[in-house]
Structure 1
Amino acid sequence: MVGLLAGLGWVYSASQKKDAALAALRAEHQQLQQERAALEETAQARTETENNELLRLRKDHEELLRLRNEVRQLRADKDQLGAQVRSAQAQARTAQAEAQGAQEQLQTLRVSAALPVTSAPGAPAAPATPEQQQAQLCIHNLRLIHAAKQQWAQQRQKPPGTLITPADIAPLLPNQTVPSSCPAGGVYTLNPIGTPPICNIPGHSLAK
């Protein structure tokens, strides 16, 4: 009887120890699960942070590329504008020189138009035919028109190719009038700036 009681006591004690060990294992397992969950949460947060940082870096890189392209475009625009300014300045200098020459030529023509035609001393008179006189007067008119066009273009800084009307250059001509037609019946064409005026009669043209 005593042995049976002792055996039962041992079994009970072993059962208690087993239950305690199981409880300890359960607690340890639960703690491990909690630690694992915490680690997974930390890893997920770190991954999210890294993804956000990577996204920010990509956006910064794209912004940097955009700014570089803008700087490159601004430099190209600046170079193009500089070339246009230099070209315009060169054209302005050329137009100014041409206009100055045209103004001097126009003044000379105005003076010569008021002087009578004389022959050289001692030379026999060689009267021109009516056709020659008409051609000379026509060419004289073309020179006046051409000089007035150049002066008008210089005063208004107009480039070659600009269209012009008789009313534009009339104030720059003698009597403020543009010759309407050739003395021989030809028709004048003013032509744009940079192109000499012409008469439709052969031989009535400015020397090139």
Structure 2
Amino acid sequence: MTTQDTKEKNTEVALKKAFVKLVTAKTFRKMTIRDIATTAHISRGTFYLHYVDKYAMLAAYEDELIAGIEQIFADYTKVALKKSDQVTDNVFYHMFVYLNRHKRLVQTLYRIPESSVMSKMTAFITAEVARETITGESDQHGEGIPLEYARAILVQNISGIITQWFQKAQPESPREIFDIFMNSRVLSPIDLTALVQNEK
């Protein structure tokens, strides 16, 4: 890596830290390029060498996060949807590990109304799940459920758990949230309703 490459990488790190800090403190809408440059200790000119505006910056961070998830699905092709002691091959486990590693960025993106990261993530997971045959699980949990509806339920299950996970002040560990996800796969809506009512 050249000196210039190192400098650009350090600038990117500073920009991302500034982005996270400012969205938390001021919200994305009120954050300005001047704010970002000042917080990152760079000039506005240097900012524009990296991004056209803050919306391009937002899109870049979303795409970076989604690209990481895409790579995980490429590396770990076992989309296991039933409980197993083998978690090291499970793509969803590694997805939770990845999201936890980038927790601050994920939580920041979730705070931004203009962010489309959740819809991008949902679209990708939907496409991946569509490649899997989950008819067996559909038959297990309820006869007469068309496959496309079973897939939609699964994707909403994943999206809902991820959203709830990152809204917590003290989120569970990747293994804990993975276990919660896998346990949720064997619960019927009636079981889930009973759990909620018992907490009242």
Q: Same fold (TM over 0.5)?
A: no
TM-score computed with the length of structure 2 as normaliser: 0.28
Q: Which has the larger radius of gyration?
A: 1
TM-score computed with the length of structure 1 as normaliser: 0.27
